[in-house]
Structure 1
């Protein structure tokens, strides 16, 4: 077996990587949104905020793609760790390919001078057994939820918006697409950093570190990845201080798919139902701006009761549970 580092310009390799990944998910969780070769290549080019991961494709001696390793290498924060994702084609499981790829990722981590790895696996017995075999300890549970816009009770959404707007009468909402204006960047750094108050459970991770440069990088990466970013921002009427935001990205390749990227309210502005106002306001906007949009996926720690409560009130349903593991090398 040969393990090859993938380039985003390798169209065949990216297509083979997606085929391995998708085949696995069709067995383990067919509802999960899959990459396309184009979106996978863009991930390798731009990442989330111009911090792209590395990907390694395992091929048998006859050239058949059998496994995939994706290595996230944080550079803004948590620079002592990597995050490893391992996939094996269902037709080739049970041959030790996953273990070989995981150990390859551990070696890459050591070669970078880093001392810890994190790993996420779907909540299935075989994933738990794999983690135990490699000395990984479970630290958190993440849940992927989905909102189906077809058939959504829009009267419920409007009612949530009206009720939360009354509770947050001291705030106004700004609707923005694409890159943030320069005059908002400093204020948005503090708002974006509020996501660090979300539960981390037992994960050994530092807070995310944000700056105007990182926010610009996020906007550039999403634009170059051919996604439209919608952002609703709450601003205090009396002071002009930015208080919270919610962000949804819509793919242009598949405009029926949306992904919730962030929802956060600054600590000093909590208690006014801004989270519900932002989420319901975003939905009402997207209903007009993206008529082809049929679903929005979001990810939360299972312990994030406040945000989950809002999502469930908006009829999100669970797609999958993922277990987060860590290991010190």
Structure 2
């Protein structure tokens, strides 16, 4: 009988941490197109300055002594634990994933009540449902090929004259910080999450600043735009660019206030922030912009596709009790 052994990884040991990250990446991204993963530098920064209230679980699985799988779990107090389980393709269906899942659950008992897990495959979805998780939400992963022709985009998506867009990189300017915190809180309330447990809001000013500092420490450049109508902030968008590995750029949130949708604000924001992005030296080394959109978010899917995004694959997020 082949032997599966599960070992905890000490995140203070850089060599072990990076080997774990590579193993998690190789199993999770096997067979996927242009799949992003956190750089070594970002992982070292993340675990070198952990959130004091967060519980982190890092596991490696060996099969007959060979590393073939890994798992990650993180849980903040009162929130669902986020779990990733990864097995190399040639070691699947030999009990490795099940052993990792059981070990993750054992370490999360008493820490969290709910787990959420992500997969891009039908096999992964089947594995998770066999463990007692249910599908909570599904999203398209979309890619925009780079470079882009800004002149063509400007001609295709003229910004409404009444929409004022302000763009910058890095931390939010002090004079719009409260507006940014308000809109990011609204995004947490509005973003489609299907049947998933919605996390508690963290959109206060202090949490914005803490988040910005952590992102900067991990090597992220924040590319941001804020839209105003009649002097009132009504929408925002942001893009994340890794200084260490800019090949895949992440388009994160885009929000337009409920009372101001359907008037071209989202289009103006996306165009302005892509123009903002293209001013960065790192953008010249990128090949794609990546974003996620819920399957039932027809308006945002249409907007993303109008800007040239195409579907790469589909993310399924599942949820269930820690057990």
TM-score (norm 1): 0.86
Contact 2:33 / 2:312 at 8 angstroms: preserved in 1? Answer: no
Moved more, 137-146 or 202-211: 202-211
**How far did residue 219 of structure 1 move?**
0.7
**Alignment partners' CA distance in 1, 2:246 and 2:317:** 30
**How far did residue 144 of structure 1 move?**
1.2
**Alignment partners' CA distance in 2, 1:34 and 1:45:** 18
**Alignment partners' CA distance in 2, 1:211 and 1:283:** 27
Contact 1:66 / 1:89 at 8 angstroms: preserved in 2? Answer: yes
Contact 1:255 / 1:292 at 8 angstroms: preserved in 2? Answer: yes
Listed as ranges, the gaps of 5+ residues in structure 2 are none
**How far did residue 59 of structure 1 move?**
4.3
Q: Secondary structure at the match of 2:210?
A: helix
**Is 1:27 matched with 2:30?**
yes
**How far did residue 93 of structure 1 move?**
2.1
**How far did residue 87 of structure 1 move?**
0.7
Summarize deviations over 1:199-243 as a string: whole Å, max 9, x none: 22122324533111111112101110111111011123x3x3211
In the other structure, the counterpart of 1:156 is 152
- Residue 281 and residue 46 in structure 1: after superposition, are their counterparts in 2 closer, same or farther (change >3 A)? farther
- Residue 6 and residue 309 in structure 1: after superposition, are their counterparts in 2 closer, same or farther (change >3 A)? farther
**Is 1:137 matched with 2:134?**
yes
**Is 1:229 matched with 2:231?**
no
From 45, 49, 57, the equivalent of 1:42 is 45
Contact 2:60 / 2:70 at 8 angstroms: preserved in 1? Answer: yes
Listed as ranges, the gaps of 5+ residues in structure 1 are none
Summarize deviations over 1:126-149 as a string: whole Å, max 9, x none: 212211220111121122111112
Aligned length: 315
**Alignment partners' CA distance in 2, 1:41 and 1:89:** 23
Summarize deviations over 1:63-99 as a string: whole Å, max 9, x none: 6432211112135xxx242121111122332221211
In the other structure, the counterpart of 1:83 is 82
1:299-318 correspondence runs (5 A): 299-318=292-311
**Alignment partners' CA distance in 2, 1:24 and 1:135:** 22
- Residue 62 and residue 95 in structure 1: after superposition, are their counterparts in 2 closer, same or farther (change >3 A)? closer
Moved more, 308-317 or 9-18: 9-18
In the other structure, the counterpart of 2:98 is 99
TM-score (norm 2): 0.88
